[in-house]
Amino acid sequence: MSQDVSEGPRRGRLAGRIAVISGAGSVGPGWGNGRATAVVFAREGATVFLNDRDKDSLEVTARQIREEGGIVHTSVLDVTEPAAVQTYFEETARRAGRIDILVNNVGGSRKGGAVELSLEEWDSQLRTNLTSAFLACKHVIPVMRRGGGGSIVNTASASGLRWTGAAQVGYAAAKAAVIQLSRVTAVEYASDGIRVNTVVPGQLHTPMVEARLAGQRAGGDVEKLLAQRQARIPLGFMGDGRDTAYAALFLASDEARFVTGTEIVVDGGMTVRCD
């Protein structure tokens, strides 16, 4: 069972905060962006409300947090369903009393350029990667305004900044739009004390590599794909979901009190490399 929201004070950079993290499961063992963010935020004292479509994967994340003494609540949710998202944020706000932090982490890519990608896949890519973030912002901002402010962290991708080795036009377009969604929203609601920023991960070694990307891009050869990805990174190694999580932690914390409408690129220097 989840611990009660009202349990006593905890220490950390997010002590006493209520954080909602979408996509907090993982497609496999290891540090995906959502799972890592959930665990790091809980370690830093936040009460975390987690959602994901995959109940079993979500429970793995929650179990780790509970074993470490964190406070966690879980909900199975499809963040592309407007009515379900509205209900989720209304119920979470009622249960927690407020929402201080939102991390929009849901995403996934489909291979294909403008000719190859079907219209149905294009629409699906926009719903998954862009509309999900829009819906969450739409319903959390009124809650944050009533509470006197908050921090929203959206997760984009280096694919939204430049070509990253494969044609994935739907994903790239959606993630580029997430960056601009954050910027526009940041300006509009700055006077309400709401900060909105974006983490832009590069080619990390997350469970997605083994679960999906190797089959899409390297004929199922995981080591081949890892070598291709690492070769693009000036630092010479790949990070993982924890690197995304620590960037999100900074943006969510009071240390970033004067930071809004901008991006932190977490890519080992890949997007500023010429070749």
The catalytic position among 88, 171, 189, 246 is: 171
Q: Give yes or no for a contact between 168 and 159, defined as CB atoms under 8 angstroms apart.
A: yes
Give the closest residue to 127 by CA, choosing from 181, 74, 81: 81
Give the closest residue to 71 by CA, choosing from 152, 147, 17, 149: 17
User: Is 171 assigned a catalytic role?
Assistant: yes
**What is the widest separation between alpha-carbon atoms in the chain?**
56
- Decide: helix, strand or coil at residue 241: helix
Structure tokens at 184: 């526009």
DSSP annotation of 271 = G
Neighbours of 55 (CB within 10 A): 11
- Residue 167 neighbours by CB under 8 Å, 6+ apart: 111, 112, 113, 116
Name the residues annotated as catalytic: 171
